[in-house]
């Protein structure tokens, strides 16, 4: 009769269960499944090779391994910050998914429990044990194993839940009782007019030319057009929000420079992070009777709309509002949607502020319809198509009843992303995400003029618009002043993207402050840390 070694039998059963679990995880996510299996092998080896006092270390890594296994089954990937920030919403998990996760947890425990109680040991010298311990820890810390892959989500969550919440009291040093009055509203006759504000995606001043963008080129000659005007932040989420609050937002659309991104948050979490009483351009205009709309090219599932809501827009138009079921609409479709909504307003006496974000010139995009010449260059195609559809919109606008009582302002969310191809094509010298951008202010009753912004930046946009509308007696926390005044601030030539700080030199070149005088950089770095306690 063959005697069965119970120790080896249980070891074999546990090993088989681990392989089955790994195979199931592989079916859900091959890369995560392989990495989980690799960590499982390292953990199993550690339990049979390393001294018993290491078992608590193994339990720690094992717990993370099991958490990651559960998330692969429930979410298809390793753990993300969004899950940690929504732990209270487990009631939305389907019963079927809960059963699968319970079975996974049970299988993982059954696969590992024997390892903690079996007396089997692989006898190695002290030196070899230390070598294995070093290999184990190096793999955990350096490879994208379940432990390493949980660090960033945990950091993001801690950052979001344990930072000092934005507080108006912390912004006391930036408080202003009013907005500087240049007298421009009287000179232009612009008081009380409607505003259409167009944030073109990633458009530097040098992307505009007579041949490539004839609409913008011609409009500049019919408008108040500013030169030497720079973006003060990037990318889109910071760029649009930053101009509407005249401040430096910490959070962008995606996680960057050790800061979380709005894409990882729910609408409720975004609202909690924001001081709702902060005066912003749309919020101030709403106090003066304006209806405030934002037109997004994206689906309502994207977080840009949620961010614009907290900035103060009462009505957000999404891709689905133009074409049901769509998650993105082209520049042509966005301008068509804008025109349709304007047509619905033709009998309304309520002044309006409409901001929109045509995204067709985004980095990596090509034109979906209109091509430039032979159509071989995606950069040229996308700027040409946006200009074309803007021109079609302006043709209708100039013939409409809105032409007299509406100001169209065209600027950019930020400068073009400085890829080598973009820099060579448009002869851009800046190596940073900061450069000159357009600012075109059109109304057919305005006398055209080319104006010098004096190297000031887009912190000036919100106070400039309010100055034009004759709105001055409003408390605010703006860091910029109207471009129609000579009032300068300490921030006029400072651009900040997350934790990176840039300065615009007197010759118009853009420098990364971290590469300049250390004293100056440390001073701005300390200031930014304090500012982010106010505007997050």
DSSP 314: S
Task: Show Cβ contacts of residue 313 under 8 Å, excluding neighbours closer than 6 positions.
Answer: 282, 292, 293, 294, 355
Return d(Cα 23, Cα 15) in angstroms, integer. Answer: 12
Burial class (CB in 10 A: 0-12, 13-18, 19+), 90: exposed
Return d(Cα 438, Cα 104) in angstroms, integer. Answer: 56
Cα pseudo-dihedral 47, 52, 57, 59, rounded to 10: 60
Phi/psi at 270 (nearest 5 deg)? -60, -45
Q: What is the pTM of this model?
A: 0.74
> Token pair 């429930």 is at which residue?
74
CB 476 within 8 A of CB 488: no
CB 140 within 8 A of CB 61: yes
Domain-by-domain residue ranges, the chain? 6-161, 172-531
What 3-state DSSP class applies to 180? coil
pLDDT at 73: 74
CB 466 within 8 A of CB 474: yes
Distances (CA, A) of 208 to 214, 360, 372, 374, 453: 8, 15, 14, 19, 18
- Output the CA angle 193-181-308, nearest 5 degrees: 55
Task: Look at residues 7, 107, 20 and name the one whose alpha carbon lies nearest to residue 48.
Answer: 7
DSSP 512: E
Task: Look at residues 312, 403, 394, 327 and name the one whose alpha carbon lies nearest to residue 359.
Answer: 327
Task: Show Cβ contacts of residue 243 under 8 Å, excluding neighbours closer than 6 positions.
Answer: 199, 232, 281, 411, 413, 458, 459, 461, 462
Task: Show Cβ contacts of residue 32 under 8 Å, excluding neighbours closer than 6 positions.
Answer: 25, 68, 72, 77, 78
Task: Look at residues 436, 442, 472, 470 and name the one whose alpha carbon lies nearest to residue 456.
Answer: 436
pLDDT at 166: 55
pLDDT at 83: 63
pLDDT at 242: 97
Q: Identify the helix (H) or strand (E) that includes residue 408.
A: strand 406-412
What 3-state DSSP class applies to 125? coil
Distances (CA, A) of 433 to 58, 243, 415, 416: 45, 16, 6, 7
DSSP 18: H
Task: Look at residues 492, 453, 485, 458 and name the one whose alpha carbon lies nearest to residue 224.
Answer: 453
Return d(Cα 94, Cα 117) in angstroms, integer. Answer: 35
Query: Beta strand 406-412 with 439-442: parallel, antiparallel or unpaired?
Result: antiparallel
pLDDT at 34: 86
CB 467 within 8 A of CB 183: no
Query: Beta strand 439-442 with 224-227: parallel, antiparallel or unpaired?
Result: antiparallel
Task: Look at residues 452, 414, 410 and name the one whose alpha carbon lies nearest to residue 430.
Answer: 414
Q: Which sign does the torsion angle of CA 152, 526, 510, 304 carry?
A: positive
Rg, C-alpha atoms of the chain: 29
* 441 bridge partner residues: 224, 409
Residue 142 half-sphere exposure toward CB, CA atoms < 13 A: 6
pLDDT at 71: 78
Q: pLDDT tens digits, the chain, 536 residues: what are they?
A: 445 567 777 778 878 888 888 888 788 778 878 888 888 888 888 778 888 778 788 888 888 888 888 877 766 677 765 566 555 444 444 566 678 778 888 877 887 777 777 777 677 788 888 888 888 888 888 888 888 778 877 776 665 555 455 567 778 899 999 999 999 999 999 999 999 999 999 999 999 999 999 999 999 999 999 999 999 999 899 999 999 999 999 888 877 666 778 887 888 778 776 655 789 999 999 999 999 999 999 999 899 999 999 999 999 999 999 999 999 999 999 999 999 999 999 888 999 999 999 999 998 899 999 999 999 999 999 999 999 999 999 999 999 999 999 999 999 999 998 888 899 999 998 878 899 999 999 999 999 999 999 999 999 999 999 999 999 999 999 999 999 999 999 999 999 998 889 999 999 999 999 999 999 999 999 999 889 888 87
Note the residue count of the chain. 536
For helices 30-49 and 55-75, give the axis angle rounded to 10 degrees: 160
CB 249 within 8 A of CB 535: yes
> Which superfamily, per CATH, for 172-531?
Alkaline Phosphatase, subunit A (3.40.720.10)
Return d(Cα 492, Cα 460) in angstroms, integer. Answer: 8
Return d(Cα 365, Cα 368) in angstroms, integer. Answer: 9
CA 160 vs. chain centroid, Å, equals 15
Query: Beta strand 500-504 with 494-497: parallel, antiparallel or unpaired?
Result: antiparallel
């Amino acid at each position: 009769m063959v005697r069965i070694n119970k120790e080896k039998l249980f070891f074999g059963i546990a090993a088989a269960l681990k392989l089955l679990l790994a195979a199931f995880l592989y079916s859900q996510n091959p890369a995560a499944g392989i990495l989980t299996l690799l960590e499982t092998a390292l953990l199993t080896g550690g339990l049979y090779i390393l001294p018993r006092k290491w078992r608590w270390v193994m339990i720690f890594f094992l717990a993370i391994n099991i958490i990651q296994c559960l998330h692969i089954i429930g979410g298809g990937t390793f753990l993300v910050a969004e899950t940690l920030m929504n732990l209270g919403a487990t009631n939305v998990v389907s019963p079927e998914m809960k059963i699968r996760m319970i079975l996974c947890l049970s299988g993982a425990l059954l696969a590992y429990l024997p390892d903690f109680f079996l007396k089997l040991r692989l006898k190695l010298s002290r030196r070899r044990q230390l070598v294995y311990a070093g290999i184990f820890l190096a793999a955990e810390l350096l490879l994208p194993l379940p432990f390493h892959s949980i660090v960033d989500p945990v950091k993001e969550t801690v950052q979001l839940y344990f930072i000092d919440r934005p507080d108006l009291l912390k912004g006391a040093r930036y408080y202003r009782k009013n907005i500087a009055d240049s007298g421009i509203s009287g000179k232009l006759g612009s008081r009380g007019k409607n505003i259409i504000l167009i944030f073109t995606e990633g458009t530097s001043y040098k992307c505009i030319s007579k041949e490539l963008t004839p609409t913008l080129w011609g409009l500049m000659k019919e408008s108040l057009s500013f030169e030497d005007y720079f973006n003060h932040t990037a990318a889109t989420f910071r760029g649009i929000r930053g101009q509407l609050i005249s401040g430096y937002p910490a959070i962008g659309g995606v996680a960057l420079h050790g800061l979380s991104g709005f894409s990882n948050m729910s609408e409720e979490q975004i609202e909690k992070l924001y001081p709702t009483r902060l005066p912003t351009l749309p919020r101030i205009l709403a106090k003066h009777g304006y209806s405030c709309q934002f037109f997004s090219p994206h689906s309502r599932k994207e977080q840009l709309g949620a961010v614009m809501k907290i900035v103060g827009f009462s009505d957000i138009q999404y891709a689905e509002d133009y074409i049901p079921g769509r998650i993105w609409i082209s520049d042509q479709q966005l301008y068509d949607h804008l025109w349709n909504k304007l047509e619905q307003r033709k009998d309304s006496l309520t002044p309006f502020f409409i901001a929109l974000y045509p995204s067709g010139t985004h980095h990596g995009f090509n034109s979906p319809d209109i091509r430039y010449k032979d159509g071989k260059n995606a950069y040229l195609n996308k700027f040409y198509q946006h200009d074309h559809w803007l021109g079609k919109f302006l043709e209708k606008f100039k013939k409409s009843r809105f032409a007299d009582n509406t100001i169209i302002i065209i600027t950019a969310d930020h400068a073009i992303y400085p890829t080598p191809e973009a820099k060579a094509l448009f002869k851009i010298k800046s190596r940073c995400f900061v450069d000159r951008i357009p600012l075109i202010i059109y109304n057919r009753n305005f006398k055209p003029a080319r104006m010098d912004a004096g190297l000031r930046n887009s912190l000036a946009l919100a106070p400039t618009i309010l100055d034009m509308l004759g709105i001055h007696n409003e408390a605010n926390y703006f860091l910029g002043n109207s471009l129609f005044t000579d009032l300068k601030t300490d921030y006029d030539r400072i651009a900040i993207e997350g934790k990176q700080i840039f300065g615009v030199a007197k010759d118009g070149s853009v420098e990364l402050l971290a590469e300049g005088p250390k004293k100056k950089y440390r001073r701005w770095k300390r200031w930014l840390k304090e500012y982010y306690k106010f505007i997050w």
